[in-house]
Amino acid sequence: MSEKYKEVMDHVRLSDAARLRILDKVNASESKNRSFQWRQWGALAACLVVAIAGILVWHAHNPATPKQNPTVMAPSSIEEQPTLEALQAAMGFPVEDIRTLFPETAEFQFKNYFYEIAEITVQDGSQEIVFRKAAGSDDISGDYNVYAVTEKVEADGTTFTMQGNGDTVTVVLWQKGEYTYALSLTPGMAKEDVTALCMQILALEK
Amino acid sequence: MELAAGTIFFPNRFAADLTALYARTVLFAAKVINIFSREEDTDVTAEHLLDSYGDAMLRMAYSYLHNMEDAEEVVQDVLIQFLKETPTFNGSVHEKAWCLRVAANLAKNRIKYNKIRMTDELNDELIAEEREDLSFVWEAVKSLPDKYREVIHLFYYEGYSTAEIAGLLHRNEATVRSHLARGREQLKTILKEAYDFE
């Protein structure tokens, strides 16, 4: 523990006035939301109809069979998966097998975040590459730094947004179909190498 | 393929999809019901977060934004987001981690969209107290890139492990360790004899 940094941060506190101010504004915001809640009764009714229909269809297609394991799975927010296949099974969508793009000496780690983001981390010598995929269009890189250079590169019908310091690229973002992708590179790599890697990953998606 | 312990085995993909749809529908319905049933509890819950983690959220936001007004607005926005999302927590550790993660993301969004002010009341206060030693440390930490500074703050002030920081920031643990090491190196270079981040 850094005693001096602790002493610095101990100066940062919410005053009583700030606390009251924040609560007032939060309450005001919540009052606005409540006026729209009548719409949620309709949504609740629709959900119940879908839930009942789901039960009926499920039972029609699946006669009762003994469960292989009666214990209900309590999903963890972040789970390490032993293999790419296990990651795909957990996510419910295909994840590009980027292992084929690296030498046999490279090491791979598979993780899912909240069953929303699939992640493959590659350790190839001193180069670390984090590949992420999720449904939707958000930036899932987890990197919120402001980079000196942001450049868009078009390749094979896909726009890659590359962020870095000008000499190297550290983050790449792109979308393909209904999925969003991100690459994080530590250390940053030359743009030509990153572009080539992205093209190889695109080829895997086909 | 070896299944994780406690996994329900579905006979086919259709059954798995339908059950997932059913689970999500019921969860959504439960959340809607919860919104009505906890009308009386809304203030208490948001107030509980503010009382328990308000200072921690403020410090997290301040480490990015360097001024009190923006940091307080981030704390407010975290509570508003809590009321919108109504997340379910598995205990106080999860509660705090959620608050800090959302505070970090909201603070970073402000930086990204240039919605920050240029004052630094903390530094002003340290100088007014004639604590140039602390001001020196604060300026050194402030000068770090965001990705190093946030790890330094979570490790040295909040006491999280690198694995916990990785989970909180949705980052790879090796990356967190690397950022921590590089942050320390830069601080050592700037602070020299004043360096005490061990």
Greater confidence (B23 vs B183) lies with B183
ipTM: 0.72
Q: Report yes or no: B169 and B176 within 8 Å, Cβ to Cβ.
A: yes
A120, A18: one domain: no
Domain ranges of chain B: 10-39, 42-194
The domain boundary, picked from A61, A94, A109, lies at A61
Q: Report yes or no: B65 and B77 within 8 Å, Cβ to Cβ.
A: no
CA dist., res. A111 & res. A118, Å (int): 6
The edge-to-edge listing of strands for the beta sheet with A169-176 is A78-81, A107-113, A117-124, A127-135, A179-189, A169-176, A158-164, A149-155
CA dist., res. B57 & res. B102, Å (int): 9
A105, A195: one domain: yes
A93, A152: one domain: yes
> Residue B94 above 50 pLDDT?
yes
A95, A32: one domain: no
- A72: in domain: no
Residue of A nearest to B112 (CA): A146
Nearest-CB residue to B59 (from A12, A65, A74): A12
Highest mean pLDDT among A68-77, B12-21, B147-156, B185-194: B147-156
Highest mean pLDDT among A89-103, B48-62, B105-119: B48-62
In sign, the C-alpha dihedral spanning A167, A121, A145, B188 is negative
Greater confidence (B152 vs A44) lies with B152
B187 min Cα distance to partner chain A (Å)? 11
Tell me the pLDDT tens digit for each residue of A96-135.
Answer: 999 989 888 888 999 887 778 899 999 888 888 999 998 8
Residue with tokens 């078009």: A154
A107, A196: one domain: yes
Verify whether the Cβ–Cβ distance B171 to A82 is below 8 Å: no
Q: Report yes or no: B150 and B97 within 8 Å, Cβ to Cβ.
A: no
CA dist., res. B108 & res. B196, Å (int): 27
Q: In which band, very low, low, confident or very high, does the pLDDT at B3 lie, cut at 50, 70 and 90? A: very low
- A69: in domain: no
Number of domains in chain A: 2
CA dist., res. B75 & res. B14, Å (int): 43
- A86: in domain: yes
Residue of B nearest to A51 (CA): B22
A179 min Cα distance to partner chain B (Å)? 18
**φ, ψ of residue A185 in degrees (nearest 5):** -120, 125
Tell me the pLDDT tens digit for each residue of B97-112.
Answer: 999 999 999 998 888 7
Q: Is B5 on the interface with A (CB under 8 A)?
A: yes
Give the pLDDT of residue A75. 47
CA dist., res. A183 & res. A98, Å (int): 12
**Per-window interface: B 131-190 vs A, CB < 8 A:** 131, 133-134, 137-138, 141, 145-147, 152-153, 156-157, 159, 167, 169-172, 174-175, 178
Greater confidence (A129 vs B21) lies with A129
Q: Report yes or no: A142 and B171 within 8 Å, Cβ to Cβ.
A: yes
Verify whether the Cβ–Cβ distance B137 to A8 is below 8 Å: yes
Give the pLDDT of residue B184. 93
- CATH topology assigned to domain B42-194: Butyryl-CoA Dehydrogenase, subunit A; domain 3 (1.20.140)
Contacts of B75 in chain A (CB under 8 A): 14, 22
Residue of B nearest to A67 (CA): B9
Query: What DSSP assignment string belongs to A112-174?
Result: EETTTEEEEEEEETTEEEEEEEEESSS--S---PPPSEEEEEEETTEEEEEEESSSSEEEEEE
A103, A177: one domain: yes
In this prediction, residues B134-158 reach a mean pLDDT of 93
How far are the Cα atoms of B91, B118, B126 from residue B136, in angstroms, in the given order?
37, 18, 9
A95 min Cα distance to partner chain B (Å)? 17
Tell me the pLDDT tens digit for each residue of A150-176.
Answer: 889 888 888 999 998 888 899 999 999
A20, A86: one domain: no
Verify whether the Cβ–Cβ distance B111 to A146 is below 8 Å: yes
Give the pLDDT of residue B33. 57
Q: In which band, very low, low, confident or very high, does the pLDDT at B35 lie, cut at 50, 70 and 90? A: low
Residue with tokens 């006491």: B159
Nearest-CB residue to B47 (from A23, A65, A89): A23
Q: Is B192 on the interface with A (CB under 8 A)?
A: no
CA dist., res. A179 & res. A36, Å (int): 32
Verify whether the Cβ–Cβ distance B4 to A146 is below 8 Å: no
Q: A54 lies in which domain range?
A: 3-61
- A97: in domain: yes
> Residue B39 above 50 pLDDT?
no
Element (H, E) at B167: helix B162-169
DSSP symbol at A100: G
A41, A103: one domain: no
